[in-house]
Amino acid sequence: MIRNIIWLSILILLVGCGGDDGPPPAPQGAQLVFPEENSECTTGTDVNQNATQITFRWTASNNTDSYTLTVVNLNTNVPQNISTASTSASLTISKGTPYAWSVTSRNSRSDQVASSPTWLFYNAGAQTTYAPFPAQLMRPMSGATVQKSIANEILLEWSGADVDGDIDSFEVFFSESNPPTTSVGIANATTMELPVGVESGTVYYWRVVTTDLEGNTSISSVFDFKVL
């Protein structure tokens, strides 16, 4: 009887130890803190007359043991990346220049990653007013293959922002050539979409020029898509 109890206890222990723990927990996205969204960043350490060192900050995210900070110069679309286990990192960036920044959370035990939102800001320079941020093209995504509507149209969508809050209009350029040079419409400051006529089997290119009330302009990157 005692021997049976001992064997039963061993069996329970073996079953308990051999259980499946499941996949490692996936990391969660971090919340950005500084520089603030759609802001002018005036806090930094001067490196020289053209650049400052900015310390980027975000909150810790669950199931994360490292972060990758990505900061993109919106004038050149050139990114800077730095990896850290901390919730802050410093980079030297150009003055008077628009940037986008985001943070990717990683867990060494998981193949999955999580991305924060992307925030835009201007690194302060000598100017007192700023051109709008280059429009962020949303849909169709670059390189996508899309289905046209029954009206033979595709809806172009983007987002726009400005430190001074004085966007006046968006002008959309759309054509089969790259870069697109044909203006197909002008939208007001609150309208960030435009339907365009398309043909099947054709690759199209598009971009958006943003203008503020002072006449300052910015030009987005060029996206392309193919119509089924």
CATH number at residue 218: 2.60.40.10
Looking at the structure, do residues 157 and 83 belong to the same domain, yes or no?
no
Cα 84–chain centre separation: 19
Q: What CA–CA distance (Å, rounded) separates 31 from 127? A: 30
Q: Is the pLDDT of residue 142 over 70?
A: yes
Give me the number of domains the chain comprises. 2
Contact 92, 65 (CB under 8 A): no
Q: What is the pLDDT of residue 217?
A: 96
Domain boundary among 70, 89, 123: 123
Looking at the structure, do residues 142 and 217 belong to the same domain, yes or no?
yes
When mean pLDDT is compared across 2-11, 50-59, 184-193, the lowest value belongs to 2-11
User: Average pLDDT, stretch 125-135?
Assistant: 89
Q: Is the pLDDT of residue 16 over 90?
A: no
128: pLDDT confidence band, cut at 50, 70 and 90? confident
SS3 content of the chain, % helix, strand, coil (to 5): 5, 50, 45
Q: What is the pLDDT of residue 18?
A: 47
Q: Coil, helix or strand for 60?
A: coil
Q: Is the pLDDT of residue 62 over 80?
A: yes
Predicted TM-score of the model (pTM): 0.83
User: Average pLDDT, stretch 101-128?
Assistant: 94
Whether 131 is covered by a domain: the verdict is no
Q: What is the pLDDT of residue 3?
A: 56
Whether 18 is covered by a domain: the verdict is no
Looking at the structure, do residues 145 and 111 belong to the same domain, yes or no?
no
User: What is the percentage of the chain residues whose pLDDT exceeds 70?
Assistant: 90
Bridge partner residues of 210 (DSSP): 170, 218
Looking at the structure, do residues 111 and 142 belong to the same domain, yes or no?
no
Whether 25 is covered by a domain: the verdict is no
